[in-house]
């Protein structure tokens, strides 16, 4: 596994093996992150290409002592937000009323003992994630897969901190509710 | 004690509550099966979210890699050309200021830029060096 420092140095020296190493190390990771945000194979491929085209332009000025992934993650996140704006849903805002309607607390329903252990499976979780509004899904992924703090997520998505918390809480409520319904069906 | 709201339970589950608030929730959980169940659900959800099934990598990525390598080569070539062109800027700026030779401060600036540009050009481009030496 090539070190980030070597990749950056080779790229800045204009050596093609540097960019080949960058792709080898990060192309799959960028694709998977884009896919987890967008849940659409072709869109994720487009975003991956866009991310590395930007990287090709910018890596010449990149500081070689910084890790590459936080930068690529930021470029990927921004590229996904732009992609949503340009291609799919208009501005990445979500009606809080809609979310509230789906996101009633799971604990408020039925017998608590009955729901103590849930029999949901991966497929149900994937389906529930796919049904979330894109920006909420991005917040969930950044929190639980990238382990970013609320503040870091707010900065990355250019959203107020309170909005990030609201999206996160409501998304998780909606996931629980969707999976409980799936388990009952 | 009233049951904590769902946001509080989520924050408790991911360890984001202040210690004092965490203790209050913990004490409540000892007596409330319903909130215990909610916390158990969130624990399971968070674990599942943190251990996702990775989607398979599509075969198109190989083709894309080749396209990106070509794009990188073009970008690199263009950036080298841009850097070369930038090195010529002082020379151009100097020559373009020749008309100002009768305005003393500007004339001095022109001469300075021209000298800098010529020496920079001569240091980088062998043909320019030979031409300048021949002129001298």
Q: What is the CATH number of the domain that holds A161?
A: 1.10.10.10
Q: Both A81 and A106 in a single domain?
A: no
The whole-number average pLDDT for the span A39-45 is: 93
pLDDT value of position B78? 83
**Distant-in-sequence contacts of A54-63, Cβ < 8 A, 24+ apart:** A54/A79, A55/A22, A56/A19, A56/B68, A56/B71, A56/B72, A56/B75, A56/B76, A57/B75, A59/A8, A59/A11, A59/A12, A59/A19, A59/A22, A60/A11, A60/A12, A60/B79, A62/A8, A62/A11, A62/A12, A63/A8
Same-domain pairing of A80 and A144: no
- With an 8 Å Cβ cutoff, is B48 touching chain A? yes
**Nearest neighbour of A49 by CB, restricted to B52, B68, B80:** B68
Q: Which of residues 162-181 of A touch B (CB under 8 A)?
A: 165, 168-169, 172-173, 175-176, 179
> With 90 as the cut, is the pLDDT of residue A136 above it?
yes
What integer is the mean pLDDT of B124-129?
A: 74
Q: What is the pLDDT of residues B5-16, one digit of tens each?
A: 999 999 999 998
Q: Residues of chain A with pLDDT > 70: what percent?
A: 80
Output the pLDDT for position B47: 92
The reply to whether A45 touches chain B by the CB within 8 Å rule is yes
Q: B97 vs chain A: nearest CA distance in angstroms?
A: 32
In the prediction, which pLDDT does A89 show? 53
Q: What is the pLDDT of residue B88?
A: 73
Provide the domain count of chain A.
2
Tell me, yes or no, whether A174 and A118 share the same domain.
yes
Residue B101's pLDDT is: 60
Q: How many residues does chain B have?
A: 136
pLDDT single digits (tens) A93-113 = 443 443 343 333 344 344 444
Interface test with B, best of A107, A112, A149, A173 (most B CBs within 10 A): A107
What would the pLDDT profile of A161-183 be if each residue is shown by its tens digit?
999 999 999 999 999 998 887 76
Whether A161 and chain B come into contact, CB under 8 Å, resolves to no
**Are A75 and A100 in a shared domain?**
no
* Across A5-10, average pLDDT: 91
Which residues constitute the domain of residue A166? 96-184
Distances A36 to A2, A92, B45 between C-alpha atoms, Å: 25, 16, 16
Same domain, A45 and A124: no
**pLDDT above 90 covers what percent of chain A?**
60
pLDDT given for residue A179 in this prediction: 84
> Based on the domain organization, do A101 and A177 belong to the same domain?
yes
CA distance A33 to chain B (A): 9
Residue-wise pLDDT tens digits, B27-75: 999 999 999 999 999 999 999 999 988 889 999 999 999 999 999 988 8
pLDDT at A112: 44
Q: CA A176 to CA A182: how far, in whole Å?
A: 10
What pLDDT shows up at residue A35?
Answer: 95
Range with the lowest mean pLDDT among A11-25, B85-99, B106-120? B85-99
pLDDT (tens digit per residue) in A145-156: 999 999 999 999
Q: A64 and A130 share a domain?
A: no
């Amino acid at each position: 596994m090539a070190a980030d420092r070597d990749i950056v140095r080779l790229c800045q020296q204009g050596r093609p093996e540097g960019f080949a190493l960058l792709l080898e190390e990060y192309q799959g990771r960028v694709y998977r992150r884009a896919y987890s945000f967008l849940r659409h194979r072709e869109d994720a491929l487009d975003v991956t290409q866009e991310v590395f085209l930007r990287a090709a332009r910018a890596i010449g000025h990149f500081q070689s002592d910084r890790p590459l992934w936080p930068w690529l993650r930021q470029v990927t996140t921004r590229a996904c937000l732009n992609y949503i704006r340009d291609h799919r849903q208009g501005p990445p805002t979500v009606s809080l009323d809609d979310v509230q309607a789906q996101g009633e607390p799971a604990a408020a329903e039925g017998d608590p003992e009955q729901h103590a252990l849930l029999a949901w499976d991966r497929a149900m979780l994937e389906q529930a994630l796919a049904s979330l509004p894109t920006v909420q899904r991005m917040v969930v992924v950044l929190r639980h897969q990238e382990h970013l703090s609320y503040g870091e997520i707010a900065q990355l998505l250019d959203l107020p901190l309170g909005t990030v918390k609201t999206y996160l809480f409501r998304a998780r409520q909606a996931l629980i509710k969707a999976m409980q319904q799936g388990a009952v069906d | 004690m009233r049951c904590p709201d769902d946001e509080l339970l989520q924050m408790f589950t991911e360890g984001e509550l202040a210690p004092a608030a965490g203790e209050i929730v913990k004490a409540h959980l000892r007596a409330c099966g319903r909130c215990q169940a909610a916390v158990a659900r969130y624990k399971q959800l968070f674990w599942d979210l943190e251990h996702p099934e990775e989607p398979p990598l599509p075969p198109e990525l190989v083709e894309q890699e080749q396209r990106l390598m070509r794009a990188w080569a073009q970008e690199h070539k263009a950036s080298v050309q841009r850097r070369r062109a930038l090195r010529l800027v002082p020379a151009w700026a100097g020559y373009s200021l020749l008309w100002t030779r009768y305005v003393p401060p500007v004339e001095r600036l022109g001469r300075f830029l021209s000298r800098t540009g010529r020496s920079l050009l001569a240091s980088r481009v062998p043909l320019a060096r030979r031409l300048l030496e021949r002129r001298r």
